[in-house]
Structure 1
Amino acid sequence: MIDLEKRRRVMSRSLQLGHCICNPKQPCPCEIFKQKDVCLCAGEKLPEAEEEIRLTQLVENTGCASKINQDDLQQVLSGLPEVNDPRVLVGARAADDAGIFSLEPEKALVQTVDVFTPNVDDPYTFGQIAAANSVSDIYAMGGQPLTALSIVSFPSDRLPLKIMQAMLKGGMDKLAEAGTVVLGGHSIKDETIKFGFAVTGIIDPKRIITNNAAKPGDVLILTKPLGTGVLSFAHQLGRAPEEGLQAAIEAMTQLNRAAAEVMTISNLKAATDITGFGLLGHLSEMVKQSRVTALIEADLVPSFPGVIDCLRQGIISGAAERNREYAAAFIEKENDLPEELLYLLCDPQTSGGLLMAVPMEKVSQVLTALEERSVKGVIIGKILSPSEGRIIVRISKQKIISATEAAMTQTKAKPSRLSSACCPSGPPADLIEKTAEEKEEGVKKKEETTKIGSKATDKAGKEETQAELLSAILDLEKTASAEKFISFIEEVATAGVLSLREKELVSLALAVQARCEPCLTAHLNKALAAGLTPKEIKEALWLGVVFGGSPALMFIEALKEKLGL
């Protein structure tokens, strides 16, 4: 029932002020009053619509596509004072998924907050997605979420309150699944619906998973397909493929808890979750903080059904465009990379998967553990070499790592620090991979050597074989002199008065003069990662020929086809 006295009192005051008391931008009487005979300023409610209310039609940008872009955000943050508190283990400057504050030597708080607009129409499902997305940052750091506070903005005078209630119920149910208690929250009356949570958890300071610990040789594994931004935008336009949309909703409501458990038990060091800045945007923070170059094989990146077709039809959100503009500064893409794949990598994700940097020897273990927990981990790239932070995007020329290779690496001994001192990143696997015949021949030679060694041992009456004795004699890495030499090489390889680019040019010339193919292939990768052009690289190589003479020239000629010179 309308309180006419209250309406008269409120409207008379609005008329005196020259605008509605609830909205200074609107005249009194407002259009709603003229059309619906409802005075919102007096607390009157609009009648509930008979048709279903589509939440995605009430917002401009859906889900994490509503985030402020990285360029603008960094510009704002760069002007703020830096926090210099020793208790802050991970702060804003790290551009990581959550902040971490030390409580005691073996316990720290991990905190995050995430709020965004609806990317689905059903309010309960939206609440679930908002909760799964909010708690994901805690999982990405290796933490355990404990409590949460809800944050909601809602046009309570224009929409039924049952919508807001369903959002909160969906969020609370999903957080209960995560073992997280909602202690309360904060609400704001606003024209645009926004919802999310501030989440607090605990973490062992010695087992923090950050975005600054990716190492050359690590394999990149993604735990959810991409395309939630594309499908949400297509849904707004009424053009979303139903199969893809339902698959995306199922993935967005799925917690990243199982994947986080795998990271913890595997003692991984580097990861991030993929949300509004897209895969390239979040990976960019990892490579910059870790000071490495990453390789992404774009055609290996999984996507939801129908996403690629949508991209080919031009269904690309403004947020994806902004993400692509930001990515242009740090990616190198090959000419044959289809536009739709590049946009897929820039697509803003909501409640996306985890991107893990996994040491080669742990890949098989991680993939198996994910599968056991019904999580499909997909290898999409690898970390190549030290740099200022670059990403190479290309179409895959071969599998990054096969299941057999992953299993084999678990039994291999760690590479000698001495043998890798010259080229810490090692040569590319695809350039030094032995053929099956070579491997078989190597096995035969090893067996023959073992037999000879055993006979000699039996004859001499010694307990050790010749091979073991030889290994002991040549185990230079255990000597103090070798340790000093290795440390010297590693120190020289870092940037100093000479930049990394300059040092790579010198290294290329020396590798040619020394006719060291593994050195040359490794430093070619590093040179490209450092941003050197093919012309600069060629000049350095030919300088090596000048000082190496005919043998160096023959060495280069033999490698021309392989190196594309």
Structure 2
Amino acid sequence: MNNDGTIISLDNIPVPVFKLTQYSHGAGCGCKISPKILDEILTSNIARPDNDKLIVGNHSKDDAAVYDLGNGTALISTTDFFMPIVDDPYEFGRIASANAISDVYAMGGKPILAIAILGWPINVLPPAVAQKVIEGSRSICLEAGIPLAGGHSIDSPEPIFGLAVNGLVSVPNIKQNNLAQEGDLLFLTKPLGVGILTTAEKKGLLKEEHKGMAAKQMMQLNKVGEALGAIKGVHAMTDITGFGLLGHLVEMAEGSGVSAVIQFDNIPLITPEIKDYLDQNCVPGGTHRNWDSYGEKIGTITTYQKTILADPQTSGGLLIAVSVAAADEVKNILKQHGLEKFTTPVGNIIAVQTDSVLVQS
């Protein structure tokens, strides 16, 4: 690589290197509109269509829509897209695609088809860079066992990529985020801290040994969700994305008419050195937007706990509310999917309190 940021190709012709995060004002699921503003946007006086086939729609704050096909099977439909959270275009395509497909797994379903959504500043970034994004997406779709069957593209001022994904699920296996029950245990299938590490990287503060760590985690599919869908004792499930663990847990608790307790010491972290980055103020702007949206619903909490639990995640893990009786079965499935590290509950569901979520050390 030359000092000007170009790479010398084999035929000695300089090829420019494009760092995608330099071309967007937001990053990953941190681009999401805050929960408070989103509630205002979605407010409507128009009556929703009376459709008894729509099992899950926008009447709840769930991960995807679910439509009853009438044969014991339901169609899951979702979409998710955002601006680059990494510089490498191939990895950007993989991360955005894993994140979108996750919504199907979070409903207990099996993805079957994906359609690409691409916004590209064609006068700034060459088509060859966009091709790498699409190729990254194809690679993740291949891992999920689905085709990237088409899509739509526009000329936009900032790079945007994501997928619209369809999946199938047996009606009894549908998992929603608003059916948690008092006494349930909470499990989390990926560590927290992605937003903190990516912010540290943008600031040039990321340690060499941590480079690539966040990207690797964000490219991991939540395939375990399909297997968890078959467990009756899994009462509620959602994936953790831009609202942070606290935001998605608030949605689960409020939707279910309960409250939740987080055992902070059991929360898995992407690296034990995460506090070093927080001491250097590597806190994403999305963390503050998240807290402004739901902070009044959280019990007593330290600044450190807040910056971890409200950290916006991109392609985060599954949050699972499961009965005590089914906990061992869930742990076995997690182990079968290589998730042995995540078999310790991170909290539990209790009767509704003044606060939606309580945090304990």
Same fold (TM over 0.5): yes
2:209 and 2:259 map into 1 onto residues whose CA distance is 36
Give the equivalent residue in structure 2 for 1:151. Answer: 117
Shift of 1:206: 1.8
Runs of 4+ in 1 over 3 A off after TM superposition: 48-51, 242-245, 386-389
Shift of 1:177: 1.1
Counterpart among 306, 309, 327 of residue 345 in structure 1: 309
In structure 1, what residue type is equivalent to 2:134?
A: L
| Structure 1: 5+ residue stretches without partners | 1-47, 396-565
- DSSP-derived class of the 1:110 partner: strand
Shift of 1:112: 0.4
Among all aligned residue pairs of Structure 1 and Structure 2, give the percentage whose two residues are the same amino acid: 38
Q: Please show how residues 253-272 of structure 1 align to structure 2 within 5 Å.
A: 253-265=219-231, 267-272=233-238
Counterpart among 326, 332, 336 of residue 368 in structure 1: 332
In structure 2, what residue type is equivalent to 1:175?
A: C
Counterpart among 146, 155, 161 of residue 189 in structure 1: 155
Give the equivalent residue in structure 1 for 2:294. Answer: 327
In structure 2, what residue type is equivalent to 1:62?
A: A
2:14 and 2:183 map into 1 onto residues whose CA distance is 57
For the Cα contact (< 8 Å) 2:254–2:356, is it kept in 1? yes
1:49 and 1:213 map into 2 onto residues whose CA distance is 56
Give the equivalent residue in structure 1 for 2:5. Answer: none
1:316 and 1:140 map into 2 onto residues whose CA distance is 27
1:251 equivalent in alignment to 2:217: yes
1:153 and 1:242 map into 2 onto residues whose CA distance is 32
Give the equivalent residue in structure 1 for 2:240. Answer: 274
2:159 and 2:124 map into 1 onto residues whose CA distance is 11
Deviations 1:411-439 (CA, angstroms, capped at 9, x unpaired) = xxxxxxxxxxxxxxxxxxxxxxxxxxxxx
User: How many residues of Structure 1 are paired with residues of Structure 2 in the alignment?
Assistant: 345
Counterpart among 271, 275, 278 of residue 311 in structure 1: 278
1:226 equivalent in alignment to 2:167: no
2:228 and 2:209 map into 1 onto residues whose CA distance is 29
Shift of 1:147: 0.7
Shift of 1:156: 1.2
1:361 and 1:206 map into 2 onto residues whose CA distance is 19
For the Cα contact (< 8 Å) 2:259–2:356, is it kept in 1? yes
Give the equivalent residue in structure 1 for 2:36. Answer: 71
Shift of 1:103: 1.3
2:84 and 2:45 map into 1 onto residues whose CA distance is 30
Bigger CA drift: 354-363 or 49-58?
Answer: 49-58
In structure 1, what residue type is equivalent to 2:305?
A: L
Q: Please show how residues 61-460 of structure 1 align to structure 2 within 5 Å.
A: 61-79=26-44, 81=46, 82-265=48-231, 267-305=233-271, 306-333=273-300, 337-375=301-339, 376-377=341-342, 378-387=344-353, 390-395=356-361
| Structure 2: 5+ residue stretches without partners | 1-12
Q: Are residues 266 and 85 of structure 1, via their aligned partners in 2, closer, same or farther at CA, if it must alter by over 3 Å? A: closer
Q: Which has the larger helix fraction?
A: 1
For the Cα contact (< 8 Å) 1:226–1:344, is it kept in 2? yes
Q: Are residues 245 and 277 of structure 1, via their aligned partners in 2, closer, same or farther at CA, if it must alter by over 3 Å? A: farther
For the Cα contact (< 8 Å) 2:108–2:228, is it kept in 1? no
Deviations 1:68-122 (CA, angstroms, capped at 9, x unpaired) = 1111111011126334321111011210000011110401111000000111111
Which structure has more RCO (C-alpha within 8 Å, separation ≥ 6)? 2
Shift of 1:307: 2.5
RMSD: 1.8
Give the equivalent residue in structure 2 for 1:525. Answer: none
Deviations 1:449-491 (CA, angstroms, capped at 9, x unpaired) = xxxxxxxxxxxxxxxxxxxxxxxxxxxxxxxxxxxxxxxxxxx
For the Cα contact (< 8 Å) 1:288–1:389, is it kept in 2? no
- DSSP-derived class of the 1:379 partner: coil
Q: Which has the larger strand fraction?
A: 2
Give the equivalent residue in structure 1 for 2:24. Answer: 59
The structure with the largest alpha-carbon Rg is 1
Give the equivalent residue in structure 2 for 1:19. Answer: none
In structure 2, what residue type is equivalent to 1:343?
A: T
Tell me the TM-score normalized by structure 1: 0.59
- DSSP-derived class of the 2:77 partner: strand
Tell me the TM-score normalized by structure 2: 0.91
1:100 and 1:131 map into 2 onto residues whose CA distance is 20
Deviations 1:111-150 (CA, angstroms, capped at 9, x unpaired) = 0000001111111111111110000000000111111110
1:67 and 1:211 map into 2 onto residues whose CA distance is 19
